[in-house]
């Protein structure tokens, strides 16, 4: 068992697989995970959405599950965590408007702690201003945001992950095996 702790930033309509699979994977190997959402407390729920790739020009969206938060956003102390996890879905598009969320991201990056962001989660990193001079990946529709934030967008296979220093990124949930493995390496668990 490990004594590592990860903070998971989420909100309503986070991508279902992108919150649940990494959450459960980390717990499986003994990493403690505090899942939080601005304005919500322990025991409250967020709604998720399932994004699928069915041959359309973009992903489809279906109702997901309710996800129960296990920590209070208002009580977060970034210094007490070893890493940060940001799932995708629609939540990042509005979470990036929250100054507290952006300050949390900046604190993790300034401390060079591992940050894992998948799919649209990179929207939060772009808004936090931590991508300049770095290379990362995301859902392809977020590539221009990475470039506009001064980063380099890496176009990789949908099941791949990219590591740049303390940052691991992936395009979407098909990358979970590579994404989780690289994050666990950065955390020092693997």
Residues 6 or more apart from 75 whose CB is under 8 A from it? none
Alpha helices in the chain (DSSP H): 16-28, 91-95, 99-110, 122-128, 143-148, 176-187
Catalytic residues: 120
- 101-108's contacts with Cβ under 8 Å and 24+ in sequence apart are 101/9, 101/38, 101/128, 102/127, 102/128, 102/129, 104/7, 104/9, 104/76, 104/78, 105/9, 105/130, 106/130, 107/78, 107/79, 108/7, 108/78, 108/81, 108/83, 108/84
- Chain-centroid distance of CA 55 in Å reads 25
Q: In what order do the strands lie in the sheet with 83-86?
A: 32-36, 5-9, 83-86, 115-118, 167-170, 162-164
């Amino acid at each position: 068992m490990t004594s590592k702790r990860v903070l998971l930033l989420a909100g309503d309509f986070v991508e279902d697989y992108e919150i649940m699979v990494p959450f459960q994977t980390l717990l499986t190997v003994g990493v403690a995970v505090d899942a939080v959402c601005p304005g919500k407390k322990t025991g409250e729920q967020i709604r998720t959405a399932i994004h699928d790739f069915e041959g359309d020009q973009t992903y489809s969206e279906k109702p997901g599950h309710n996800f129960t938060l296990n920590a209070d956003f208002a009580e977060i102390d970034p210094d007490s965590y070893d890493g940060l996890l940001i799932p995708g879905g629609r939540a990042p598009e509005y979470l990036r408007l929250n100054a507290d969320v952006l300050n949390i991201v900046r604190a993790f990056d300034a401390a060079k702690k591992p940050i894992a962001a998948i799919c649209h989660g990179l929207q939060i990193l772009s808004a936090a201003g931590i991508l300049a001079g770095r290379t990362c990946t995301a859902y392809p529709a977020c590539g221009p945001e990475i470039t506009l934030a001064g980063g380099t967008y890496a176009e990789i296979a949908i099941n791949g992950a990219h590591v740049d220093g303390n940052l691991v990124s992936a395009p979407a949930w098909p990358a979970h095996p590579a994404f989780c493995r690289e994050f666990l390496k950065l955390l020092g668990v693997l």
